[in-house]
Amino acid sequence: MPYNCRHCGGTYCADHRLPENHDCSGLQNWNDPQGVFDSGFDDNVNSGGSTSRASSLMDKLPIDTGPGGPLAYFRGNATYTFLALMWLTFIAQFLVSMVFGSEIARTLFVLRPYYPQYVWTWVTSIFAHGGLYHIAGNSIVLFFFGPLVERYVGSRKFAILFLVSGVLAGLGQIAIQILQTSVVTPLTPGVVGASGAALAILGVLTVLNPGLKVYLYFILPVPIWLLTAGYAVISITFLSGAVGGSGGIAHMAHLVGLVIGLAYGQYVKQNRNVSAPNQLQFGGGGPGGPGGPGGPGGPGRGRF
């Protein structure tokens, strides 16, 4: 059975799983006069030999990321890392707007159809949000569903799924705005939010286990396929409405994220033997939750 070294990210057999038994790059940075390591391996490696580089990237930070360190909780845990980044970005939006003005804040955090060349907003807009209600809804979806998908595909692939689906969802939204608007100006609403990535996560789970029960408000059991179908119907129905979606909701972003998730879920299902739990208690904020018809993004201009 292969083991994943947490110090260098490589995969080794049982005889070479400890850092001192293979050519581990972590040995050069390990400050331990006794030469004693912790176990340094991860049993959660599939037989196909795929590896995750999340831990090795964390080791390069100039902060103690080892056991007991301030960032130890985020090692191999992309879901909560993204949650933390969302809330830190939300705070940064507020501070930048207060100190430098709303236009600077939009330039840094909002993906706008008039400025698609601002490539940093392709990423920052995923973590930025339009209000407390908006970020709370997306956080709940990510908190409940994210760890399930990350457990199936690994932290590295989960991070790629989250970022790629978020970027493509945002670009898809401003593309439909450009097509639907005769003249795009700097005042044309932009898009913020992680709902495109959240819908991708939902799509993956739908393919892996369409009968997964989600307890809305801890009371009403609903199969996840029904939530996914509802999202698709809502997005398609309102896509031809006002620019940015009915009520200012980025339905194209939702739809793009969902399609990416369904496609990737099918890929995972065909190439790996995975299983999913039969039910999941979910207290709202996502599909059918406080976000209402708008989903995780909730009501608001250009939020997804």
Domains and CATH numbers, the chain: 74-271 (1.20.1540.10)
pLDDT in tens, 114-164: 999 999 999 999 999 989 988 998 998 899 899 989 988 889 999 999 999
DSSP codes of every residue in 114-157: T-TT-THHHHHHHH--SSHHHHHHHHHHHHHHHHHHHHHH-HHH
Q: What is the mean pLDDT of residues 207-218?
A: 80
pTM, two decimals, is 0.67
Q: Regarding predicted confidence, which is higher, 282 or 274?
A: 274
Q: Please give the pLDDT value at position 67.
A: 54
CB atoms within 10 A of CB 269: 15
Q: Please give the pLDDT value at position 172.
A: 93
Query: Of 19-23, 49-53, 101-105, 160-164, which gets the smallest average pLDDT?
Result: 49-53
pLDDT classification of 79: cutoffs 50, 70, 90: very high
Residue 256 half-sphere exposure toward CB, CA atoms < 13 A: 25
Q: Regarding predicted confidence, which is higher, 282 or 185?
A: 185
45: pLDDT strictly greater than 60 = no
pLDDT classification of 245: cutoffs 50, 70, 90: very low
The radius of gyration of the chain from alpha carbons, rounded to an integer in Å, stands at: 21
CB atoms within 10 A of CB 285: 25
Give 47: exposed, middle or buried? Use CB within 10 Å, 0-12, 13-18, 19+: exposed
Q: What angle do CA 81, 85, 90 make, to 5 degrees?
A: 155
CB 192 within 8 A of CB 109: yes
Q: Regarding predicted confidence, which is higher, 1 or 111?
A: 111
Residue 16 half-sphere exposure toward CB, CA atoms < 13 A: 9
The percent of residues above 90 in pLDDT, for the chain, comes to 36
Q: What is the mean pLDDT of residues 97-110?
A: 94
The mean pLDDT value of the chain amounts to: 75
27: pLDDT strictly greater than 80 = no
Q: Please give the pLDDT value at position 250.
A: 78
Q: Please give the pLDDT value at position 21.
A: 78
